[in-house]
Amino acid sequence: MVSQTQEKASVLLLSGFLGAGKTTLLKRILSWETDLSDTVVLVNEFGDIGIDGSLLKDSGSDVIELTSGCICCTLSADLHRSLKLIWQRFKPRRIFIESSGVADPKSIEPVIAESELKRLLVLNKIITVLDADLWEAREVFGHLFYNQLEMAQLILLNKIDLVDKEKIPQFLKEMHAVIPGCQIVPTIHCRIDPETLWANVKSKNFGLKPMDFYQPELLKNDFQSAADHSAGHSNHVHSHPKYDPDQTTDYVTFSFQNSQAIDKTCFKTFIDALPWEMFRIKGPVRFANCVAMLNFVGGKDEWSDWEGEPVTRLAFIGWGVNQEEILGKLKDCIIKT
């Protein structure tokens, strides 16, 4: 039984086919914090030997492995038992579950929602990592492939550097059509920033430290290694002449700053009409009667109160987007005085 002072443990489920990049993402998440004493990692490998657990053993968190089966079927009872024991032993604040590549999230979710575990845990988010190269062959993978995508609140279209870059806009458009309402972010080596990962997660267990104002480079550097970038530049594109594992020519980053009020109706139209490749916008927006903080991730916008300087200051990240066109449409929303 959970005491009145003990909160439920927040669960993050990582899903995706074998080799998509789940372990890479998990290691990236664990690298964001230095204190992982209240975090437990549950790794499910479909085989007799757990590989991922050994890769994560130096992360600083407790790593527990379930092998010789899949947690969505033959090991579902083990998953239930393991989660219960994890709670009893560690009383963790967070549990990260890296499911096997053949695991179906539709079968895992009911285990976590079972009445006994429901008192101890809350499934805060399902993230699916998709190898971009597999999207074109999706028809041959069956229900499991679609279930991993449909159950996710966030999809990382990973390894986009290994497919023709002209296909990325097509893939994003097709995925949003098949899975409407889901956040989809194109990535290389699962490079995302913490706020992208935790967007729309309401539990304070995953809360991030507030910033006085949003600086574009804080977001950009989590997507790619970048040269020094001055926050004072109002409009700036950073690119590289050739591909590097930590740098890519097609991630476009720029920012916008203006002290004049923005028309709210026009801005909503602007957001709704953005191309799917424009997957990240962050910062305060000054409207005529208020200032609000925008957190836009992979096609979905989230708003919160803003008590800082009444200035529109937005950071943008996209894949091969036209900076001038986007900024031009945004400038059209400025209320003329």
Residue 316 Cα distances to 104, 149, 159, 282, angstroms: 34, 25, 21, 7
Q: Where are the alpha helices (DSSP H) in the chain?
A: 22-31, 52-56, 76-90, 105-113, 115-118, 142-150, 167-178, 194-198, 216-223, 264-272, 323-331
Query: How buried is 308 (Cβ within 10 angstroms: 0-12 exposed, 13-18 middle, 19+ buried)?
Result: middle
For the domain 216-331, what is the CATH code?
3.30.1220.10
Which CATH superfamily groups domain 9-206?
P-loop containing nucleotide triphosphate hydrolases (3.40.50.300)
**Identity of the residue numbered 179:** I
Distances 281 to 3, 215, 228, 314 between C-alpha atoms, Å: 39, 11, 20, 7
CA–CA separation, 194 and 220 (whole Å): 12
User: How buried is residue 148: exposed, middle or buried, by Cβ count under 10 Å (0-12/13-18/19+)?
Assistant: buried
Residue 65: predicted pLDDT:
54
pLDDT of residue 205: 46
Can you give the residue ranges of every domain in the chain?
A: 9-206, 216-331
β partners of residue 111: none
To the question of pTM greater than 0.95 for the whole model, the response is no
The torsion defined by the Cα of 300, 301, 304 and 307, in degrees rounded to 10, comes to 140
The answer to whether residues 181 and 53 touch, using CB atoms and an 8 Å cutoff, is no
Q: For each successive 10 residues of the chain (337 residues), what is the average pLDDT?
A: 66 90 89 78 54 43 47 55 85 86 82 89 94 90 88 94 92 94 92 82 47 42 37 34 45 92 97 94 94 92 91 92 96 93
Quick one: pLDDT at residue 215?
Answer: 44
